[in-house]
């Protein structure tokens, strides 16, 4: 199960904020403000900033095994820090050059998509409250079905109501598998699973739709639109949505060869040394995740954002757009950061509001944030998958060090919470997930979050081995972090039972799951099926060996039970082999793979043969002898096979 848990960490190209919510360092591990705090009007001294960041990077690279880091920090219209650390490649070895090396930025790509689309809104060419189908080519129109039309506004707030799917298509490893954005949107359209506008659930597909709206209206591919409207006017010569593949078919033109030579290599720590990984192509969702850039170019972007659309006396986007990317698109929910027309809003130490976006490919982990009240911007990217936590926390740590408040002490739990433990405890599933098919099955295995009350009176979240504790505030629906200032708001029913809650960053909602979606239930039944199947096979082998003669009914039942028993052993064994040999990076490219398909096929045949056995028993009911073996097959094995098959179907196991 721990191996399968790794899948969840790599299936999304977006910034996985649930992990950040559920994994906070103990107070003793967090850096305290060793220097005197500045007031907002005081800029950070470059020497102090560099010294502080150097220490954070050194610690993170050693502890997390990060190969390379590129960073830029701007303030008051100037670049205060532009620095690279470690390796951008190992064949040959080269140091990170923040002015030259291009790092993959993942979902930071979305911020430029939103800006360009908002400029069209400001021009009057697109209306926020118009259906997206009004601006899409016919073959990409989204069917409404039982839901209202998706509006352009819904894309900005990730409230379109799509399920989320990634395995086997979000990233591809070979150029011949790349789809153009238009073909990708047509072939990998996710299901609509809720009414638009209800709540935010992060959607790469929704942002890719936004980019396609712009491309369709401008009459050119997204990469060209971004170059014409953004990168060239900004002088961002080392930033591109293009990727290094051969020029072929209906794909946009590939990345310039000179830029290709400056791409940082994804590096993963294995057995004490770094190994290179291949390029991960995201052209299909280009507006949502294919951006590559240097730290120096990203400093220009942050200065533009802090300048409200103006850079070096040149206006790049309109004032109206600048206002919208700092304006919440949905009413605020206590304790949950908001969406400012596509930009994430985050409350930082000292109460300052940050606007930006994180970015995650399989191997590169990035973050960009501006803090207007401090006229400050921070960008960071790493070329190792273990860099996510460092990238996510760097802006907050810089603000805390130079402008934040004192570190709070740990808050005590409340023993009175123990009397209400039943109302809070349970298992919760994220709304950001597939809702059908085999990907649903794999995701459900380790995507749930458990909520419980520990003996010391803390409300505790647990997910993938990580925990975070919360204390009551006096209101049943509101809790405060035990070691920080974050707020958690729960949705309760009339009896005070927790129904759902949003993650801290507003990217997914966790909803109470029924017992049917318990991994313990599924695992327990799987073990029973395996043991019973082995028993059935053993009994049949014993009779064959001893050439026993049994009553006709028993012979018929025994031999008809043998095929499903063999098939279930094969299905469970193949699935165990798939999990044991799983490479969490390759599963994104190669899902579902031969082993998993073989497991599903064997399971489906096992289910069908179980139904055949039930039919045979129905025809021959009452004929033949009696005995313990007959009761074992009739009263235990067959019902177990049927219940297990139905449970697997509910989880999506049989859906290719």
Check whether 18 has a pLDDT greater than 60.
no
Burial of 520 (0-12, 13-18, 19+ CB in 10 A): exposed
* pLDDT for 589: 93
Question: Where residue 627 falls among pLDDT bands split at 50, 70, 90?
Answer: low
512 beta partners: 428
Nearest to 10 by CA among 266, 194, 378, 264: 266
Lowest mean pLDDT among 62-71, 610-619, 620-629: 620-629
> Which overall architecture, per CATH, does domain 2-25+41-403 show?
3-Layer(aba) Sandwich (3.40)
Q: What residue ranges do the domains of the chain occupy?
A: 2-25+41-403, 415-513, 518-651
Residue 94 CA neighbour count, 13 Å, CB half: 18
Q: What is the pLDDT of residue 165?
A: 94
For tokens 């401090």, the residue is 374
CA separation for the pair 188, 428 (Å, rounded): 27
pTM to 2 decimal places? 0.89
E runs forming strands in 365-425? 365-371, 376-382
Continuous H helices in 229-345: 232-234, 257-260, 286-289, 295-306, 319-324
Task: Specify the pLDDT at position 36.
Answer: 47
| Tokens 């179907």 sit on residue | 649
Q: How far apart are CA 212 and CA 184, in angstroms?
A: 11
C-alpha closest to that of 529 among 611, 613, 640, 609: 640
The DSSP bridge pattern shows strands 487-492 and 498-502 to be antiparallel
Tokens 């919470």 found at: 417
381 has pLDDT over 50: yes
pLDDT the model gives residue 545: 74
Give the model confidence (pLDDT) of 293-312 as tens digits. Answer: 999 999 999 999 999 999 99
Using one digit for the tens of pLDDT, what is the confidence trace for 357-377?
999 999 999 999 999 999 999
As a whole number of angstroms, the distance between CA 160 and CA 195 comes to 8
Selection from 391, 374, 286 nearest residue 17 by Cα: 391
Q: Answer yes or no: is pLDDT of 19 > 50.
A: no
Structure tokens belonging to residue 63: 């502890």
Q: Which residue has the tokens 């318990």?
A: 518
pLDDT the model gives residue 315? 95
Q: In the numeric block, which tokens belong to residue 531?
A: 């043991």
């Amino acid at each position: 199960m721990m191996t399968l848990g790794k899948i969840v960490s790599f299936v999304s190209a977006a910034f996985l904020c649930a992990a950040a919510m559920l994994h906070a360092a103990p107070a003793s591990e967090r850096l305290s403000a060793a220097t005197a705090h500045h007031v907002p009007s005081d800029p950070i001294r470059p020497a102090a900033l560099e010294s502080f960041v150097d220490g954070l990077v050194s610690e993170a690279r050693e502890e997390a095994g990060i190969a390379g880091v590129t960073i830029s920090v701007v303030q008051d219209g100037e670049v205060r820090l532009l620095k690279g650390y470690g390796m951008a490649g190992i064949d040959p070895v080269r140091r990170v050059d923040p002015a030259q090396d291009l790092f993959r930025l993942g979902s930071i790509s979305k911020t430029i998509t939103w800006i360009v689309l908002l400029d069209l809104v400001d021009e009057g060419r697109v209306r926020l409250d118009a259906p997206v189908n009004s601006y899409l080519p016919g073959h990409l129109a989204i069917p409404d079905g039982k839901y209202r039309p998706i509006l352009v506004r819904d894309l900005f707030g990730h409230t379109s109501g799509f399920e989320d799917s990634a395995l086997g298509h979000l990233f591809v490893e070979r150029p011949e598998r790349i789809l153009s954005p238009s073909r990708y949107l047509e072939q990998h359209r996710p299901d609509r699973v809720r009414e638009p506008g209800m709540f935010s659930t992060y959607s790469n597909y929704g942002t890719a739709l936004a980019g396609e709206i712009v491309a369709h209206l401008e009459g050119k591919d997204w990469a060209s639109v971004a170059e014409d409207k953004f990168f060239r006017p900004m002088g961002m010569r080392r930033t591109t949505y293009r990727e290094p593949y051969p020029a072929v078919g209906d794909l946009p033109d590939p990345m310039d060869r000179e830029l290709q030579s400056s791409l940082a290599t994804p590096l993963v720590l294995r057995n004490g040394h770094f190994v290179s990984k291949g390029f991960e192509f995201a052209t299909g969702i280009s507006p949502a995740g294919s951006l590559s850039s240097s730290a120096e170019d990203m400093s220009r972007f942050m200065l533009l954002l802090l300048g409200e659309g103006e850079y070096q006396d040149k206006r790049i986007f309109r004032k109206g757009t600048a206002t919208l990317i700092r304006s919440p698109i949905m009413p605020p929910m206590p304790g949950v950061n908001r969406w400012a027309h596509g930009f994430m809003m985050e409350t930082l130490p000292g109460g300052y509001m940050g606007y930006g976006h994180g970015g995650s490919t399989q191997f590169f982990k990035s973050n960009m944030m501006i803090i207007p009240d401090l006229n400050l911007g921070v960008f960071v990217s790493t070329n190792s998958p273990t860099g996510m936590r460092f990238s996510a926390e760097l802006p907050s740590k810089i603000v805390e060090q130079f402008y934040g408040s004192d570190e709070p002490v740990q808050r005590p739990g409340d023993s009175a919470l123990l009397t209400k433990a039943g109302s809070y405890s349970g298992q919760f599933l994220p709304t950001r997930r597939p809702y059908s098919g085999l990907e649903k099955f794999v995701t459900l295995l380790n995507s749930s979050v458990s909520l419980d009350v520990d003996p010391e009176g803390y409300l505790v979240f647990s997910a993938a081995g990580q925990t975070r504790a919360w204390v009551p505030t006096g209101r049943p629906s509101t809790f405060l972090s035990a070691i920080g200032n974050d707020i958690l708001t729960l949705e309760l029913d009339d009896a005070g039972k927790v129904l759902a809650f949003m993650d801290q960053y507003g990217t997914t909602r966790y909803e109470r799951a029924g017992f049917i979606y318990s991994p313990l239930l599924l695992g327990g039944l799987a073990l029973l099926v395996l043991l019973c199947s082995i028993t059935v096979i053993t009994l049949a082998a014993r009779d064959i060996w001893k050439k026993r003669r049994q009553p006709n009914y028993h012979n018929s039942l025994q031999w008809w039970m043998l095929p499903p028993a063999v098939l279930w052993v094969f299905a469970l064994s193949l699935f165990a082999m798939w999990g044991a040999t799983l490479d969490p990076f390759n599963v994104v490219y190669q899902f579902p793979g031969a082993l998993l398909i073989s497991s599903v096929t064997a399971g489906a045949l096992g289910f069908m043969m179980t139904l055949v056995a039930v039919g045979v028993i129905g025809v021959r009911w009452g004929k033949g002898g009696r005995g313990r073996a007959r009761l074992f097959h009739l009263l235990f094995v067959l019902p177990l096979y049927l219940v297990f098959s139905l449970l697997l179907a509910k989880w999506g196991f049989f859906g290719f």
